[in-house]
Amino acid sequence: MKFSPRTVVLKDGREVLLRHVEVSDAPRVIEFVHGFVYDEEYVPLTEGEFNPTMAEEEQILSNYVERSNSLFLVAEFEGKLVANINVDGNQRKILRHTAVFGMGMHKEWQACGLGTAILTAAIDWARANSELEILFLQVYAENQAGLALYRKTGFIEHGRIPNFFKQNGRYHDEISMHLSLK
Ligand SMILES: CC(C)(COP(=O)(O)OP(=O)(O)OC[C@H]1O[C@@H](n2cnc3c(N)ncnc32)[C@H](O)[C@@H]1OP(=O)(O)O)[C@@H](O)C(=O)NCCC(=O)NCCS
């Protein structure tokens, strides 16, 4: 299902375009992801782990374009990608009504309403999607910004796995949350 692009005004007055990714965005998506994932304590990736070739990234983006129960939104400011959300609809028949998502943005864009804007846009899209009924996610238990955002947008906690993340000699609990769309 298509996503209609929209412009949103953030708390600091900046205007950002939210639109669906295109396959031709592959180099910009790689640059954007490299620009924040390794600095973020609550993204479970270590240096060098995000390393797709251009062809692999194009294939990944093409899947988002083609799969009717999936979505990859980007936020664009002055021609640069500054945030994204990827909603991965399950491809198995008995799970096609479910999708897990992940999202992120560069540090300088955090806490000014962009997370709320891009997640709300994705939820609106998911509600209008005839297949999807459940969105779910996993988040670090210490990720206060993430938890505040997910609670604010209606997600409900349904589980916690102690010591799920193990990094730099420390363990972190995981919280699972879901949103019923129907
Ligand atoms: C987590 C993340 C997506 C949140 O997006 P954001 O744009 O920073 O969040 P928003 O500005 O829309 O704020 C959402 C709510 O959380 C609150 N919030 C923001 N930062 C917070 C913080 N550090 N602690 C507690 N609450 C916080 C805001 O007050 C806001 O509520 P309000 O509108 O009622 O005031 C973003 O910070 C991010 O990408 N972080 C790095 C990657 C990451 O953690 N991804 C999520 C993995 S599950």
Residue 47 confidence (pLDDT) above 90:
no
Mutation choice for ligand 1 from 110, 152, 174, 177, CB with most ligand atoms inside 8 A: 110
**Do 20 and 65 contact (CB within 8 A), yes or no?**
yes
Whose Cα sits closest to atom 37 in ligand 1? 110
Around Cβ 150, how many Cβ atoms within 10 Å? 23
> Is 175 touching ligand 1 by the criterion CB < 6 Å?
no
Q: In 3D, which of 155, 150, 152, 156 has the Cα closest to residue 42?
A: 150
Q: What is the pLDDT of residue 182?
A: 87
CB 123 within 8 A of CB 135: yes
Q: Is it true that domain 6-135 has CATH number 3.40.50.2300?
A: no
Q: Which atom of ligand 1 is nearest to the CA of 111?
A: 11
Q: If you average pLDDT over residues 119-148, what whole number do you get?
A: 98
Q: What is the pLDDT of residue 164?
A: 98
Predicted TM-score of the model (pTM): 0.97
